[in-house]
A and B are shown apart, each in its own frame.
Chain A
Amino acid sequence: MPRLKPRIIEMAVILLWGLACWIFFQFFYQYHFFYQEQNQLFLHTSDYLATYFQKPGWLACMTGDFLTQLYYYRFAGPVVLTFTLLVMGDLLRRAFGRIGKGAWGFWAAIALMTLEAIFFLHYSHRLSSALAVILGTLLFLVYTTTSRMHAIAKVVIGLGLGLIAYRTAGYGWMVYALLATAYGLVRKSTARWWAPVFAALVIIAAPTLTNRHYLLNTAANLTYPGIGRPCLPETELETTLAINNEYYFGQWSKVEKMVEDEPAPNELMLFFYNLVKAQKGELPDHLLRYVPNQLGSFYKIGPDIPLPIINNMNELYWVLGDMTLTERAAMMTNVFAPNNRNVRMVKRLAECNIVSGDTLAANKYLRILDHTLAYREWAGNARKGVGIEELNRKKAFVNHEDTIRVTDNLHMVMMELLDTNPDNVVALDYILCSTLLLKDIESFKRDYDRYCIATGKARVKPLYQQALMIWLAGSNASEEEWKKYITDQEQLHRFNEYSQHRGDPRFNDTYWYYFDTAKAPEI
């Protein structure tokens, strides 16, 4: 059997590596890319691009962020990342080939590509970081073309390229200096002394010379935009992001399926599940499916709340129809996003101001979106009133009465929304379900009377019937009252049966069982 040529083996390894990388990120990690994409706001304007010059590694960061905006499109993220890593590997292979002979360079490049790919398992690792390595390596390859030049020219060019690496590639200067040092040592060229000297100069000079200019501390200055760290696959976060993003894309059935397929969905997953169910009018039918459950209505936004929760709160307020709190949560998501920029939140700010009729504020955000790649079409259409039917529908939900809320107590907020618009079924179900989760039967009954009985719009759901029976039984209500509230005879029959067997798991789908056995959330 003839032996395969090393070149063919290498090509096959690269092909397989690239395929494996793409398959992994495409089919098992694609939602991490949406997180990266939304947490920036890349504008195609000269003044925005100029801001990249304020930090080290402007070229790596600008190119990385430019490519990251493409992650908006499904399939783009894994393709961009795989291609970037392959380019990085190829350049490293070439660089190692200039340093010494043998196959070690190929395998070392594969190892470094793999390490960089592992860094990308962390949700916050930026594409710019891989590009920093690429630029540093590229500049080293440029340096190696000086081999026939005079020694002084080599030193001058070497140092010059090093400074270019620091300025354009951020921590790519380290890659450049390491490669040049190795090259100098192996080839016994001038780089064996000037490259370490260059590295030492950067380390010594950066704190005194460039920290002041870049407004960074020394560690951040020398490693900008971030070297990365090994990380295990964030599988739970990937599922959470998947649910979050499929919700954003309007794929409600996917959200439901993903959550239902999870053996133990976390509270962020449940939050979106409930949002979907509420908008389908099914929240009371599924509230007790997961115990403990998470509606999001007990969160208080503040500096200590993690970003995903603030982000979720914005979705909840939006669905409920409270534009004051939607705007605030969107602002706060922006505040806590890297560089205080989140493109989805800018879109949301435009949306909520369109709903509340604040044209000046809406135009502010639409103008910004005009300068993005993926959102400019939406902005143009929104300005013409195209594709914003949902926004127009929400206008009926906006509060007309002004009250002052000292806290973001969502119960009060939902009451105000229901007072403005009693047909706001989502707010109705959230207010009733929230009190039921807390086992606050008195408040439930008060709200039910106010928004279902007084308005003549009784909401007959097994969950509510069961809760009303607890109140009726507890208050020794008259038969007339029982008749007034309880119309579902099957539930009445089950209630009588449950009363004989309190706490029996056969009734674990009922509110009575929850009331007797579950622990109410602490608020």
Chain B
Amino acid sequence: MKHRLYTHTLLAVIATIVLTLAACTPTPENAQESGSLPPVYPDYTEVTIPRNIAPLNFLLRDDVEAVETRAVCGDEEIVVNAKGNTVCFDLGEWKDLMEKAAGHQVEVRVTALKDGKWTAYRPFHWTVTNDSIDPYLTYRLIEPDYEVYQNLTLQERCLENFDERSISNYGLVGNRCMNCHTYGSQNPNLSMLYVRGEGGGAILNRDGHLSKLNIKTKDMVSGSVYFGFSPNGRYIVFSTNWIIPAFHAKPSKRLEVFDSKSDVYVADLESNTILRSELLCDSTVYETFPTFSPDGKSIYFCASPKVELPMELKEMRYSLCRIAFDERTGTIGTEVDTLVNGPADSLSVCHPRISPDNRYLVYTVADYGTFPIWHQETDLRIMDLATGKVDEMKAVNSDKSDTYHSWASNSRWMVFASKRDDGLYGKPYFCYIDSQGKAHKPFVLPQENPHFYDNNLKSFNAPEIGKGPLPFDAMDVKRAVDREPVNFE
């Protein structure tokens, strides 16, 4: 009897607390219509999103007391009433809404309470595509600098929720430099990352088995820097770059990095040998940013004629080039095609990446040089490989650096690093390329707490999309680093 009394009392107290809390969250009354869009951060207005994306939680950049958000698609509706300026959706409700909204638009109505008055902002929309995005993303978290590092970590994030984990971490491999993690054809069972420093190397993941490779040979100017897998996973094409850091006197331009030497090679991961071509190691040319075409028949790369550095740095302009490759025999072609002539067009091409369906090639253009991440003018461009037509992707680019892009396996989604918010910290943005090759307005990687980006002091570096979770973790990488390397000839 006494026990039951306690239980009832406890339940009554809990119910009272819950009801009191619920009653404390104000709901709109006599809201005044406003013709302007709500000041949402991140900018999720009129964006195109995949049906399987995590909730687009956001905040209002205003000193509001409460906010109500209604996300409506047909008869499906999510309502979020919250005190303060933060809007966070329930993951389950969000998933239901996305399933219903696939192929349609969601209308988002935001009403906010400020100084005791409710304002109903002009609704905005989310276009939800039937095309899903590959559900995993890897990136490096690093301060926005280039030559110094401390406490680096490579992360993997599930795009369908907010789960994140470390796939290589300074706490386990020592305070080493770590470079980008790259998938082979978005396949989580084929990927590679670099752990630099003494005893480091390229950590190759094949079906979760990690091996350490020493790809550098004596004739190379450095270890491998930018690389990409061939479709069958037997080869990687990579550049070796002698990188020089520099500074701009003008504070708005900040940093500059350029290569004083660079070459391109192919490594055969089966025979542990290096394939060389004079056309890719020309001493009068800087070759860099190599990647295989998804059919394995070509290597795309960027090349600039040698200039006097640093005096002629602003004349250092890279062209987009292509050379044939036979994946069956491991033979590099004998002629280089120029697809975009950098010096002639007064631009510098970087980071060519081809859609897995071999239809589109997206590349970065800057005014000059080879380090677009610090060039605010850097933009993405898309080339239709069937027609050669180039689009400037105006819906995607910003007035800050937009670069380091990577495709999803269905060739409909792309991620890239953009500094559009503050000019300093790169963040992963996703953009939809429809079947006509039209690029839609991108959205930033959603975070569980929408204040995350405001308080974050790390750049998201070299984001890459993967089809599934990687079959290893940071502890496995530590063990691989401790092993003896496989040397290349």
Real binding pair: yes
Residues A338-389 near B (CB distance < 8 A): 339-341, 346, 352, 355-358, 360-361, 363-364, 367-368, 371
Instruction: Considering the complex, give the chain B residue whose CB is closest to the CB of A310.
Output: B148
Q: CB distance B149 to A43 under 8 Å?
A: no
Stretch at the interface among A142-150, A190-198, A215-223: A215-223
**Would A399 and B145 be within 8 Å (CB), given that A215-B171, A215-B474 are in contact?**
no
Give A361 to B310 CA distance when docked, in angstroms.
28
Q: Does B424 contact A (CB under 8 A)?
A: yes
Which A residues touch B171, using CB under 8 A?
Answer: 214-217, 220
Q: CB distance B424 to A364 under 8 Å?
A: yes
Q: Does A334 contact B (CB under 8 A)?
A: yes
Q: CB distance A340 to B457 under 8 Å?
A: yes
Determine how close the nearest CB of chain B comes to the CB of A103; give it in whole angstroms: 44
Of A215, A302, A402, the residue contacting B169 (CB under 8 A) is A215
Give A416 to B248 CA distance when docked, in angstroms.
11
Stretch at the interface among B15-23, B202-210, B250-258: B250-258
Q: Does B473 contact A (CB under 8 A)?
A: yes
Determine how close the nearest CB of chain A comes to the CB of B489; give it in whole angstroms: 32
Contact mask for chain A residues 110-151; partner B; CB cutoff 8 A; 1 contact, 0 none: 000000000000000000000000000000000000000000
Residues A40-99 near B (CB distance < 8 A): 41, 43, 45-48
Of A41, A335, A356, the residue contacting B145 (CB under 8 A) is A335
Q: Does B166 contact A (CB under 8 A)?
A: yes
Q: CB distance A324 to B151 under 8 Å?
A: no
Which B residues touch A335, using CB under 8 A?
Answer: 143, 145, 148-150
Give A363 to B421 CA distance when docked, in angstroms.
10
Of B145, B150, B473, the residue contacting A328 (CB under 8 A) is B145
Q: CB distance B455 to A406 under 8 Å?
A: no
Instruction: Considering the complex, give the chain B residue whose CB is closest to the CB of A326.
Output: B251
Q: Does B249 contact A (CB under 8 A)?
A: yes
Of A328, A402, A404, A413, the residue contacting B310 (CB under 8 A) is A404
Residues B134-183 near A (CB distance < 8 A): 143-145, 147-151, 153, 166, 169, 171-172
Q: CB distance B454 to A416 under 8 Å?
A: no
Q: CB distance B250 to A47 under 8 Å?
A: no
Give A505 to B452 CA distance when docked, in angstroms.
63
Contact mask for chain B residues 87-107; partner A; CB cutoff 8 A; 1 contact, 0 none: 000000000000000000000
Instruction: Considering the complex, give the chain A residue whose CB is closest to the CB of B248.
Output: A402
**Would A399 and B249 be within 8 Å (CB), given that A45-B451, A371-B455 are in contact?**
yes
Give A302 to B171 CA distance when docked, in angstroms.
22
Give A399 to B151 CA distance when docked, in angstroms.
33
Of B147, B253, B423, B457, the residue contacting A334 (CB under 8 A) is B457
Q: CB distance A324 to B247 under 8 Å?
A: yes
Instruction: Considering the complex, give the chain A residue whose CB is closest to the CB of B255.
Output: A328
Q: CB distance B247 to A408 under 8 Å?
A: yes
Q: Does A401 contact B (CB under 8 A)?
A: yes
Q: CB distance A406 to B244 under 8 Å?
A: yes
Give A62 to B422 CA distance when docked, in angstroms.
29
Which B residues touch A327, using CB under 8 A?
Answer: 251, 254
Instruction: Considering the complex, give the chain B residue whose CB is closest to the CB of A352.
Output: B251
Q: CB distance A361 to B454 under 8 Å?
A: no
Give A332 to B153 CA distance when docked, in angstroms.
17
Q: Does A398 contact B (CB under 8 A)?
A: yes
Which A residues touch B244, using CB under 8 A?
Answer: 406
Q: Does A331 contact B (CB under 8 A)?
A: yes
Q: CB distance A215 to B166 under 8 Å?
A: yes
Of A217, A302, A368, the residue contacting B455 (CB under 8 A) is A368
Q: CB distance B251 to A328 under 8 Å?
A: no
Q: Does A336 contact B (CB under 8 A)?
A: yes
Give A404 to B244 CA distance when docked, in angstroms.
12
Which B residues touch A421, using CB under 8 A?
Answer: none
**Would A212 and B455 be within 8 Å (CB), given that A325-B247, A399-B251, A405-B246 are in contact?**
no
Q: Does B425 contact A (CB under 8 A)?
A: yes
Determine how close the nearest CB of chain A comes to the CB of B197; give it in whole angstroms: 11
Q: CB distance B145 to A47 under 8 Å?
A: no
Give A37 to B45 CA distance when docked, in angstroms.
40
Q: Does A303 contact B (CB under 8 A)?
A: yes
Which A residues touch B452, using CB under 8 A?
Answer: 47
Q: Does A459 contact B (CB under 8 A)?
A: no
Q: Does A323 contact B (CB under 8 A)?
A: yes
Q: Does A211 contact B (CB under 8 A)?
A: yes
Determine how close the nearest CB of chain B comes to the CB of A15; give it in whole angstroms: 43
Give A191 to B91 CA distance when docked, in angstroms.
45
Determine how close the nearest CB of chain B comes to the CB of A355; give it in whole angstroms: 8
Determine how close the nearest CB of chain A comes to the CB of B259; give it in whole angstroms: 13
Q: CB distance B143 to A334 under 8 Å?
A: yes
Determine how close the nearest CB of chain B comes to the CB of A182; give it in whole angstroms: 33
Residues A402-448 near B (CB distance < 8 A): 402-406, 408, 413, 416
Q: Does B331 contact A (CB under 8 A)?
A: no
Determine how close the nearest CB of chain B comes to the CB of A163; give it in whole angstroms: 22
Q: CB distance A358 to B251 under 8 Å?
A: yes
**Would A303 and B247 be within 8 Å (CB), given that A46-B449, A220-B171, A368-B455 are in contact?**
no
Determine how close the nearest CB of chain B comes to the CB of A106; give it in whole angstroms: 40
Q: CB distance A406 to B250 under 8 Å?
A: no
Q: Does A257 contact B (CB under 8 A)?
A: no
Q: CB distance B249 to A336 under 8 Å?
A: no
Of A45, A47, A360, the residue contacting B422 (CB under 8 A) is A360
Of B144, B148, B247, B475, the residue contacting A404 (CB under 8 A) is B247
Q: Does A289 contact B (CB under 8 A)?
A: no
Give A194 to B256 CA distance when docked, in angstroms.
61
Contact mask for chain A residues 205-246; partner B; CB cutoff 8 A; 1 contact, 0 none: 000000110111100100000000000000000000000000
Which B residues touch A367, using CB under 8 A?
Answer: 454-455
Q: Does A400 contact B (CB under 8 A)?
A: yes
**Would A404 and B473 be within 8 Å (CB), given that A48-B455, A220-B171 are in contact?**
no
Q: Does B313 contact A (CB under 8 A)?
A: yes
Give A340 to B150 CA distance when docked, in angstroms.
7
Give A215 to B313 CA distance when docked, in angstroms.
42
Determine how close the nearest CB of chain B comes to the CB of A173; give it in whole angstroms: 19
Q: CB distance A331 to B145 under 8 Å?
A: yes
Give A346 to B454 CA distance when docked, in angstroms.
13
Determine how close the nearest CB of chain B comes to the CB of A178; give it in whole angstroms: 26
Q: CB distance B143 to A331 under 8 Å?
A: yes
Q: CB distance B149 to A361 under 8 Å?
A: no
Which A residues touch B248, using CB under 8 A?
Answer: 324, 402-405
Q: CB distance A324 to B251 under 8 Å?
A: yes
Give A481 to B167 CA distance when docked, in angstroms.
70
Give A398 to B29 CA distance when docked, in angstroms.
51
Which A residues touch B247, using CB under 8 A?
Answer: 324-325, 328, 404-405, 408
Contact mask for chain B residues 439-478; partner A; CB cutoff 8 A; 1 contact, 0 none: 0000000000101101101100000000000000111000
Give A471 to B455 CA distance when docked, in angstroms.
55
Residues A459-478 near B (CB distance < 8 A): none
Which A residues touch B153, using CB under 8 A?
Answer: 215
Give A431 to B364 CA distance when docked, in angstroms.
40
Give A413 to B249 CA distance when docked, in angstroms.
8
Instruction: Considering the complex, give the chain A residue whose CB is closest to the CB of B309.
Output: A406
Which A residues touch B310, using CB under 8 A?
Answer: 404, 406
**Would A336 and B150 be within 8 Å (CB), given that A46-B449, A341-B457, A404-B310 are in contact?**
yes
Q: CB distance B422 to A215 under 8 Å?
A: no
Give A462 to B251 CA distance when docked, in angstroms.
35
**Would A356 and B252 be within 8 Å (CB), given that A328-B145, A364-B424, A404-B246 are in contact?**
yes
Apart from A331-B143, A361-B423, 11 more pairs, CB < 8 Å: A45-B451, A212-B473, A215-B153, A302-B148, A303-B147, A340-B143, A346-B457, A356-B252, A367-B455, A368-B454, A404-B248
Jot down 17 A-B pairs with beta carbons below 8 A, ordered by A. A45-B455, A215-B169, A215-B474, A303-B148, A324-B247, A335-B150, A361-B422, A364-B421, A371-B455, A399-B250, A402-B248, A403-B249, A404-B247, A404-B249, A405-B248, A405-B249, A406-B246
User: Which 6 residue pairs spanning A and B have beta carbons closest together?
Assistant: A356-B251, A323-B251, A402-B250, A215-B171, A364-B422, A47-B449
B residues contacting A by CB (< 8 A) are 143-145, 147-151, 153, 166, 169, 171-172, 244-256, 310, 313, 421-425, 449, 451-452, 454-455, 457-458, 473-475
